[in-house]
Structure 1
């Protein structure tokens, strides 16, 4: 008999929720992670009394009540509402694109006046296409929102994020852009959103209570041993690495962070500020205290922590973040997926194992459906 029912490789959200649900069914699980901490990319570190999102901002949002009730059964979530700001050459714009944005950009105060400008610019894009379908991200964006919004709020940010010109990126990346003709800065349309009270580490701790875990443990360093220890493997790492890159390496984008502690209670007045001009090297600045401190609570903490995010091409030794879902990489992933589908004793789950960008609620929903 094997020592465990499941060996779970990776303690991020997929692995942790899977371990929780399996343990509820009486299954014996071992969770291993190559990092020095549990939680994957939602891990937080306390700095100056503030929970710092070490791998970028994570905001939980969903319209699925079952998912929302599930995560709140582990730890209560607060009322944080994601309302990012865009900074273009020192001028601020509300996101997502809504009447506040259009007022800031054109001085229009009514939906009809805003739509007149948007329609005129969209028609200019249609004329340029001359009956053709959009062939790249730039053409698609111009068709959706027009030149002003594209030039100021999309182009520079997107090119920094992907490390490629918008004319070189596929159109499907930006098939939809929300345009709201109301004064509403709530970024998400979902019914529920928030941050775990006390930070994401409390969520992971709650999910993994009673489950054996090991950190600083690399599955690939003693692979033969790990493969013998459990009836099934739940693998949440890179699928191409699992198959020893037999078809070649998949590409990723990654993020580098510059963390700063400031001797003030409030640095930028918002959790997320995007810098959309190409000349600013970072994509955004995150001020972490705003995820969990509201109103007078902000001033009670005399210091604040910010992170500048720099998007770059992934190289071995870096943390892979975002799959590059262009035609070349999608074709390569399909080859790995065929191998994965033939596995009887391995479950592949999460953004790296499925080479797909997931929001957190999608991951939780996927695991709940599995069980």
Structure 2
């Protein structure tokens, strides 16, 4: 996939679309608009690579790693798999996570095995259900992440598995966070130790970056990297803009900054084949400064005499990763959304453009849904129906 220089982009005839952000949202839309509607696209990104946070590459040791932490693809949508399968083959992968608690490595989400090891029991499923019911502390109206967990499993398991991890991840106590944060994590009384239960749990066979490269091969797509939109927004010529960056940044933070959590990674290579038994081990104890360790060979299936890992440290400053789900932040976003609705010729897309945490498949669905609307407005029948994510 060739890239162009800024001089080439400035000398080009006006593009049909300028798309800011070469992650899933921007790349999928660029591919569809060029291949489906014959539009000329300029895709730009402030980073020096495509793929957004899903970017993977060979490190100095030759191990395939995810630079921005583990990205595990899972979905229930056949249409999303069908679309991405145009650009990649797949390998099956079921994600399993362990948590370091009380000297044990225990399955998370909490399941029957977790309970039996932690409490030195040999409960069956029915006994585990009764055990959790006896520990649960019913909450009349669930508002916060703390409410969700205590209502399900009680305070002791909440303290052991959730509170410390959540405080590190978000910089806030679970009692200060919307219920959606912990509602994503189920509790099971079976021995199912998979982190996800989606119908499709797969990883790109040769990595995400190669998938993006194939997605952006169309000759009508120009890719310009290491370019900040703010420095070229008055220079480039285009008819329509799709902005996948932070919506508040587009408007100069005129109402103030939308709060995000960021991440810092400490990458290491070790002189042995395996570091830990699964791809991800969580460290919920508040005394441990990082939230998790990822070993990438579990994700990629790569065979290599060495192994590479990353320690993950959530932080307040840095690239925006996670919109912080609190009511006042949702209200601030609504103000920016109202500005966006009054801005002709600009469409906001993706996690940052819509200030919402989407899984990768949901971002693909959002981009395909936007393409569908654009195609219909142009009087073109699209080959598939893709609903917007919820």
TM-score by length of 2: 0.87
Q: Does 1:212 align with 2:222?
A: yes
Partner of 2:20: 9
Please give the alpha-carbon distance, in whole angstroms, between the structure 2 residues aligned to 1:51 and 1:249.
35
Unmatched segments (≥5 aa) in structure 2: 1-11, 373-390
SS in 1 for 2:351: coil
Of 65, 69, 80, 1:56 maps to: 69
Partner of 1:357: 357
Q: How does 1:288-307 map to 2 (within 5 A)?
A: 288-293=296-301, 298=303, 301-307=304-310
Relative distance call for 1:265 and 1:39 in structure 2 (3 A) is same
Deviation at 1:98, TM superposition (A): 1.8
Deviation at 1:108, TM superposition (A): 3.2
**Contact (CA 8 Å) 1:85, 1:272: kept in 2 or not?**
yes
**Contact (CA 8 Å) 1:97, 1:180: kept in 2 or not?**
yes
Partner of 2:387: none
Q: How does 1:1-371 map to 2 (within 5 A)?
A: 3-24=14-35, 25-47=37-59, 48-106=61-119, 107-122=121-136, 125-126=137-138, 132-134=140-142, 136-175=144-183, 177-210=185-218, 211-226=221-236, 229-293=237-301, 298=303, 301-314=304-317, 318-370=318-370, 371=372
Deviation at 1:147, TM superposition (A): 2.4
Deviation at 1:109, TM superposition (A): 2.9
Deviation at 1:35, TM superposition (A): 0.8
Deviation at 1:2, TM superposition (A): 5.9
Please give the alpha-carbon distance, in whole angstroms, between the structure 2 residues aligned to 1:8 and 1:136.
36
**Contact (CA 8 Å) 1:89, 1:277: kept in 2 or not?**
no
Relative distance call for 1:81 and 1:172 in structure 2 (3 A) is closer
Q: Please, which moves more after superposition, 153-162 or 167-176?
A: 167-176
Partner of 2:3: none
Deviation at 1:231, TM superposition (A): 1.0
SS in 2 for 1:212: strand
Deviation at 1:166, TM superposition (A): 2.4
SS in 1 for 2:71: coil
Deviation at 1:176, TM superposition (A): 5.5
Deviation at 1:135, TM superposition (A): 5.0
Q: Superposition RMSD on alpha carbons, in Å?
A: 1.6
Unmatched segments (≥5 aa) in structure 1: none
Q: Once the two structures are superposed, what CA deviation does each residue of 1:146-175 show, in whole Å capped at 9, x if it has no partner? A: 223212111111111011122333344334
Please give the alpha-carbon distance, in whole angstroms, between the structure 2 residues aligned to 1:104 and 1:193.
27
**Contact (CA 8 Å) 2:26, 2:367: kept in 1 or not?**
no
Deviation at 1:8, TM superposition (A): 0.7
Q: Please, which moves more after superposition, 83-92 or 353-362?
A: 83-92
**Contact (CA 8 Å) 2:144, 2:176: kept in 1 or not?**
yes
**Contact (CA 8 Å) 1:258, 1:309: kept in 2 or not?**
yes
Please give the alpha-carbon distance, in whole angstroms, between the structure 1 residues aligned to 2:141 and 2:122.
31
